């Protein structure tokens, strides 16, 4: 049976990761594809993403305006309200049979509601994981609205089944993040880093660490926490590429903390970067001595690369991890000791906990054949 599929793209990073799957769907006559783009994917940092979709051969792209400014929890909630309103209209126009969403960002729950309430089948990727911040609640709520589950590992599959989902529609396919990592081209000249961002010029003939610390939306003191990491990195005096926090609620206070740090510390060996292309980011990850912070890249991508990680705080709490991850709290000394210990250890053996072969192709094959009932049932 021919299937109309709407896929949600909310950021360039996420687009990078599901692009292989989208291309398979786009080239398969069994599917008719609509891409719905919204949120930070629409920001113009690397030119208009619409041009990129055109270049990549995607014809039907709907651009949704859903992001409410404010950068705090209220803006996050209202953006999700807008996501429902606008996704519902986009679905009304295209009338898809199936919606493809992934992950646990707050607006994804809005898209899931728009789809579920208008009786469309939802395929969700990366459910069943556990973590901290509001993502933990979003991810499982989305699971309870979804019909087909693509998960990255068996433990996540077991959680989804305990939640009453249908085993015949819950599939371990591995993580698209790892698949993307495997497919990303090798970039040996990393000098692009010094052409963007501000601060210290990175010398790629010497070791460097990377820091990615994102906001925790659930009431934590994000400002103090990022301050501790800044101080720890400053005191260790290692050259560092620091990625600006993402735009989740709390980002404002974190940005101010970074700005104040930069005013006080005139020459730290840190380069601050807002954004890179996904393939650029992957190539830095392959060469860094240590990743510090609370990004899922530390848990997922780095497990497969064996890169040492210092994982700080609650954001990744409970997520399945390999040996490469060392957890610390927000204490400056703990962070410093963690980084030193990981630098001393060096690269870990590759782990396949998040890896399966042919992740995207497997999903496309399942989507082609799947016919779940739109009416869900809790299976005891």
> Could you say whether residue 219 binds a copy of itself (CB under 8 A)?
yes
Q: Is 5 in the site for a copy of itself (CB under 8 A)?
A: no
> Is residue 84 involved in binding a copy of itself (CB under 8 A)?
yes
By CB under 8 A, residue 136 contacts a copy of itself: yes
| 164 forms part of the interface with a copy of itself (CB under 8 A) | yes
Q: How buried is residue 372: exposed, middle or buried, by Cβ count under 10 Å (0-12/13-18/19+)?
A: middle
Long-range pairs for 188-195: beta carbons < 8 A, 24 or more residues apart: 190/283, 190/284, 190/287, 192/276, 192/280, 193/241, 193/271, 193/273, 193/276, 193/280, 193/284, 194/271
Q: How far is the CB of 313 from a copy of itself (least distance, A)?
A: 11
Cα–Cα dist 202/246, whole Å: 22
CB of 279 to a copy of itself, least distance (A): 22
Task: Determine if 76 is a binding residue for a copy of itself (CB under 8 A).
Answer: yes
Q: Which is nearer to a copy of itself, 43 or 277 (CB)?
A: 43
The token pair at 113 is: 């509601």
Q: Which stretch binds a copy of itself (CB under 8 A): 61-69, 183-191, 238-246, 287-295?
A: 61-69
Rule CB under 8 A: choose which of 14, 67, 153, 239 binds a copy of itself. 67
Q: Give CA separation, 134 vs 107, 130, 309, in Å.
A: 11, 11, 23
Query: Which is closer to a copy of itself, CB of 110 or CB of 308?
Result: 110
Rounded to a whole number of angstroms, the minimum distance from the CB of residue 325 to a copy of itself is 18
Angstrom distance (rounded) from CA 186 to CA 174: 22
Does 46 interact with a copy of itself (rule: CB under 8 A)? no
Distances (CA, A) of 342 to 208, 288, 308, 325, 338: 13, 12, 6, 9, 6
Q: Is there binding between residue 50 and a copy of itself (CB under 8 A)?
A: no
Q: Using the rule CB under 8 A, is 378 a contact of a copy of itself?
A: yes
Spatial neighbors of 126 by CB under 8 A, at least 6 apart, are: 102, 103, 104, 139, 150, 151, 152, 156, 175, 176
First to last CA, the chain: 31
Size of the site for a copy of itself (CB under 8 A): 68
Site residues for a copy of itself, 93-132, by CB under 8 A, read 93, 106, 109-110, 113-114, 116-119, 130, 132
Q: CB of residue 141 vs a copy of itself: minimum separation in angstroms? A: 4
119: left (phi > 0), else alpha (psi -120 to 50), else beta?
left
Near a copy of itself by CB under 8 A: residue from 50, 163, 332, 370: 163
Give the tokens for residue 117: 């309430």
Strands 3-9 and 31-37 come out as: parallel
Residue closer to a copy of itself (CB basis): 128 or 308: 128
Query: Coil, strand, or helix at residue 62?
Result: strand
CB closer to a copy of itself, 189 vs 195: 195
- Cα torsion 111, 117, 118, 119 to 10°: value is 110
Binding mask 238-277 for a copy of itself (x = CB under 8 A): -----------x--x---x---------------------
Give CA torsion, residues 238, 244, 249, 253, to 10 deg. Answer: 70
Chain contacts with a copy of itself (rule: CB under 8 A): 42-44, 63, 65-71, 73-78, 80-86, 88-89, 92-93, 106, 109-110, 113-114, 116-119, 130, 132-134, 136-137, 140-145, 159, 162-164, 217-219, 249, 252, 256, 314, 317-318, 374-378, 380
């Amino acid at each position: 049976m021919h299937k109309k599929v709407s896929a949600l793209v909310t950021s360039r990073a996420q687009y990078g990761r599901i692009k292989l799957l989208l291309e398979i769907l786009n080239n398969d006559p069994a599917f008719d594809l609509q891409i719905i783009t919204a949120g930070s994917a629409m920001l113009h940092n690397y030119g208009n993403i619409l041009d990129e979709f055109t270049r990549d051969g995607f014809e039907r792209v709907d651009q949704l305006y859903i992001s409410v400014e404010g950068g705090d929890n209220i803006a996050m909630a209202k953006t999700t309200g807008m996501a429902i309103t606008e996704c519902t209209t986009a679905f009304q126009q295209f009338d898809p049979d199936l919606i493809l969403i992934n992950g646990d960002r707050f607006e994804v729950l809005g898209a899931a509601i728009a789809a579920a309430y208008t009786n469309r089948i939802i395929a969700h990727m990366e459910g069943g994981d556990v973590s901290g911040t509001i993502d933990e609640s979003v991810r499982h709520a989305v699971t309870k609205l979804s019909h087909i589950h693509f998960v990255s590992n068996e433990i996540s599959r077991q959680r989804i089944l305990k939640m009453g989902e249908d085993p015949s529609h819950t599939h371990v396919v591995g993580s698209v993040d790892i698949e993307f990592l495997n497919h990303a081209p090798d970039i040996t000249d990393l000098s692009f880093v010094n052409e963007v961002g501000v601060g210290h010029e990175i010398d790629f003939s010497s070791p460097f660490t990377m820091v990615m610390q994102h906001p925790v939306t659930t009431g934590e003191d994000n400002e103090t926490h990022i301050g501790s990491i800044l101080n720890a990195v400053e005191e260790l005096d290692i050259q560092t590429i620091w990625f600006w926090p993402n735009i989740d609620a709390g980002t404002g206070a974190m940005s101010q903390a970074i700005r104040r740090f930069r005013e006080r510390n005139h020459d730290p060996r840190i380069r601050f970067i807002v954004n890179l292309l996904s393939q650029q980011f992957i190539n830095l990850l392959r060469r860094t001595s240590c990743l510090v912070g609370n990004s899922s890249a530390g848990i997922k991508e780095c497990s497969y690369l064996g890169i040492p990680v210092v994982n700080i705080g609650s954001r990744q709490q409970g997520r399945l991890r390999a040996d490469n991850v060392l957890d610390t709290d927000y204490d400056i000394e703990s962070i410093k000791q963690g980084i030193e210990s990981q630098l001393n250890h060096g690269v870990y053996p590759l782990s396949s906990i998040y890896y399966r072969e042919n992740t995207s192709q497997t999903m496309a094959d399942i989507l082609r054949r799947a016919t779940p009932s739109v009416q869900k049932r809790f299976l005891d």
